[in-house]
Amino acid sequence: MTVLLKAAPIVEKHTKILKQKTTSLSLKNVVPCLKIVLVGNDPASKIYTRNKKRLSEKINASCEIIVLNEDISESDFVNKLRKLVENVKVHGILVQLPLPKHLKNVDIHKIIPPEKDVDGFHSQNLGRLMEGHFEDSFVPCTPKGIMTLLDFYGYNVMGEHVVIIGRSLIVGKPLAALMTHHHATVTLCHSRTQNLEYLTKEADIIVTAIGRPKFLTRKHLSLTKIPIIIDVGINSLPNKKLCGDVDFEDIIDWGMATAITPVPGGVGPLTILSLAENLLIAAERSIYEMES
């Protein structure tokens, strides 16, 4: 039977641990503080930021969503970010993507320093990830959440062939580095990959992060190798329901996965959990910086 890799029990367990950490920090007069900058009215971004705030508050951290007008000028946007960076009480800053077209060329990570980059996208944090040094950097939230998920359900990636579909800087590439660090053999695929079905049929673990509803079907799988499937995709169907990059029903009906993440309720909540974990690390580090 296919195991359903739900996020809920993981989030519940880790929320308790994070709450204990915020209590310890409060004894040192530190309240982890996250600022989320949301430009415009994109409905999906509103939901994502609201969920991030919700979990932050659940662990007794402070979280403010700063909503900026869709037509804010580049200089006003940059100044807003600079002000947040200067505030020593702010431990983490994230800009909710996507940004409106006229702000797309702003290099956010030239403004948000690596120590407040709780998303883990700053080149210094990504560089540390490539080097395999995690102790003084932030690991991007979705890849980190996927590792938490596999660990919770008792799956070790060592020696496994992991096929990742999607090579974005926020999911595919950092996940490939992280999995490699954990001794997986990684094949990173994208839109120009030839013979994708051949590769997925050889996989022990498949991760889809492409943004194409129900893209991965039984034709990508073989009857001899039954993989674990991690579906990162979040897609809106015309009926407003969410679905992943995997044709979940098709795969389940045919019993072609050892385990599979649902959408919603799989990778998404773990991305948010990782953000909360990174925020607490940032707050803890701020104490060492104050003391040194």
Residue pair 185/161 in contact by the 8 Å Cβ criterion: yes
Give yes or no for residue 213 binding ligand NAP (CB under 6 A): no
Of the candidate spans 23-31, 123-131, 155-163, 266-274, the one that interacts with ligand NAP by CB under 6 A turns out to be 266-274
Task: Identify the residue among 232, 260, 276, 283 touching ligand NAP (CB under 6 A).
Answer: 232
Distance CA 15, CA 169 (A): 27
As beta bridge partners, residue 100 has none
Minimum Å distance from CB 172 to ligand NAP?
A: 6
Active site residue 16: no
Tokens of 117: 């980059």
Task: Identify the residue among 60, 124, 185, 235 touching ligand NAP (CB under 6 A).
Answer: 235
Task: Identify the residue among 46, 211, 217, 225 touching ligand NAP (CB under 6 A).
Answer: 211
Give yes or no for residue 217 binding ligand NAP (CB under 6 A): no
Distance CA 173, CA 183 (A): 15
Residues 6+ apart with CB under 8 A from 172: 164, 165, 166, 188, 190, 207, 209
Minimum Å distance from CB 145 to ligand NAP?
A: 7
Task: Identify the residue among 271, 273, 283, 286 touching ligand NAP (CB under 6 A).
Answer: 271
Task: Identify the residue among 209, 216, 275, 276 touching ligand NAP (CB under 6 A).
Answer: 209
Per-residue binding letters, 167-206, with ligand NAP (x by CB under 6 A): xx-xxx----------------xxxxx-------------
Residues 6+ apart with CB under 8 A from 289: 115
Provide the 3-class DSSP secondary structure of residue 284: helix
Minimum Å distance from CB 213 to ligand NAP?
A: 9
Minimum Å distance from CB 270 to ligand NAP?
A: 7
Minimum Å distance from CB 215 to ligand NAP?
A: 6
List 21, 53, 80, 96, catalytic entry: 96
Active site residue 119: yes
Q: Residue count at the site for ligand NAP (CB under 6 A)?
A: 24
Residues 6+ apart with CB under 8 A from 259: 2, 3, 4, 5, 153, 155, 228, 229
Distance CA 63, CA 74 (A): 24
Minimum Å distance from CB 34 to ligand NAP?
A: 17
Active site residue 52: yes
| Closer CB to ligand NAP, 119 or 160, in the complex | 119
Q: Where are the beta strands (DSSP E) in the chain?
A: 3-4, 33-39, 62-68, 92-95, 161-165, 185-189, 205-208, 228-231, 235-236, 242-243, 259-260
Give yes or no for residue 229 binding ligand NAP (CB under 6 A): no
User: How do 235-236 and 242-243 pair as beta strands?
Assistant: antiparallel
Residues with catalytic annotation? 52, 96, 119
Site of interaction with ligand NAP (CB under 6 A) = 142, 165-168, 170-172, 189-193, 209-212, 232-235, 267-268, 271
